[in-house]
């Protein structure tokens, strides 16, 4: 197993946020990723798509640094990173308000349980406004609909102020309003120079992408840049 390392700041790496070379991930005897080579360019939306079980979520977890590789190497540039998992990976009954969930994203600058500074509070307020959550600030996270919960998790990621935003299936099974809020928020992040990698089956998200990477059986089978 090879641990992730930081990309050097030499000119050939300046346009890359992350790079995978020969990456494989195994769960026991099952191989979730096999010999994956991928370079993530800065300031663009890259969509990861493919059938269920193709390896998309494993790949984005590798990029986030929460899934160790079995073979190969993942390198990633320095800078703040935010990883937004699927809503189903988060307990529905968290005893916290929507504002508290979003504010967790700003903890990086303050440390756990410390008071968030003014810049962090602005990011929290802005993220909640962009995702239509301002009126829900004092609601318990567990009382929200699935779409509202997913919007809160994405707002938490935006509050991080990250240079690299990784999102796993943000619109699956959501109502049209929530999906539209999320799509617009992703587009706005790219517009301000954030690098976004998003696992999605959603045609709207895929159509917004500058690059679409399709996986099948743990391998990249197509890597295109739509006209």
The torsion of the CA quartet 112, 118, 124, 125, rounded to 10 degrees, works out to 150
Task: Please compute the mean of the pLDDT values over residues 114-122 and round it to a whole number.
Answer: 82
Query: How does pLDDT run across 13-42, given as a tens digit for each residue?
Result: 447 899 999 999 999 889 999 999 999 999
Gap between the Cα atoms of 39 and 19, Å rounded: 4
User: Between the CA atoms of 179, 180, 184 and 185, what dihedral angle is there, to the nearest 10 degrees?
Assistant: -40
pLDDT, average across residues 177-193? 92
Q: Tens digit of pLDDT for each residue in 46-100?
A: 999 999 999 999 999 999 999 999 999 999 998 889 999 887 666 667 788 999 9
Average pLDDT of the residues in 147-159: 93
Does residue 43 surpass a pLDDT of 60? yes
Contacts of 95 (CB under 8 A, 6+ apart): 140, 142
Chain CA centroid to CA 154, Å: 8
Measure CA of the first residue to CA of the last residue in the chain; give whole Å: 38
Q: Dihedral (C-alpha) 156, 158, 163, 167: value to the nearest 10 degrees?
A: 70
Average the pLDDT over 121-126 and give the result: 93
pTM score of the predicted model: 0.87
Is the pLDDT reported for residue 184 higher than 60? yes
Three state DSSP letters for 8-71: CCCHHHCCEEEEEEEEEEEECCEEEEEEEEEEEECCCEEEEEECCCCCHHHHHHHHHCCCCCCE
Q: Who wins on pLDDT, 8 or 157?
A: 157
DSSP one-letter string for 114-125: SPP-HHHHHHHH
* Cα of 164 vs its chain's centroid, Å: 8
pLDDT of the residue at 44? 95
The pLDDT score that the predictor gives to residue 11 is 37
Q: Kindly tell me if the per-residue pLDDT of 5 is higher than 90.
A: no
* DSSP letter (8 states) at residue 2: -
Answer whether 43's CB lies under 8 Å from 193's CB.
Answer: yes
């Amino acid at each position: 197993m090879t641990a992730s390392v930081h990309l050097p700041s030499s000119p050939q790496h300046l346009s890359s946020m992350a790079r995978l070379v020969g990456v494989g991930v195994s769960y026991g005897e099952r191989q979730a990723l096999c010999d994956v080579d991928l370079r993530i360019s800065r300031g663009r939306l890259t969509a990861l798509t493919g059938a269920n079980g193709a390896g998309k979520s494993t790949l984005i977890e590798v990029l986030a640094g929460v899934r160790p590789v079995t073979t190969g190497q993942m390198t990633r540039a320095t800078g703040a990173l935010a990883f937004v998992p699927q809503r189903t990976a988060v307990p529905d009954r968290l005893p916290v308000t929507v504002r508290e969930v979003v504010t967790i994203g700003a903890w990086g600058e303050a440390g756990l349980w410390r008071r968030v500074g003014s810049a962090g509070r602005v990011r929290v307020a802005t993220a909640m406004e962009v995702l239509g959550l301002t009126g829900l600030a004092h609601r318990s996270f567990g009382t929200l609909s699935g779409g509202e919960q997913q919007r809160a998790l994405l707002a938490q990621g935006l509050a991080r102020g990250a240079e690299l935003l990784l999102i796993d299936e943000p619109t699956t099974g959501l109502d049209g309003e929530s999906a539209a809020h999320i799509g617009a928020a992703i587009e706005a992040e790219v517009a301000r120079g954030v690098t976004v990698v998003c696992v999605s089956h959603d045609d709207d998200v895929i159509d917004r992408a500058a690059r679409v990477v399709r996986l099948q059986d743990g391998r990249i089978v197509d890597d295109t840049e739509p006209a």
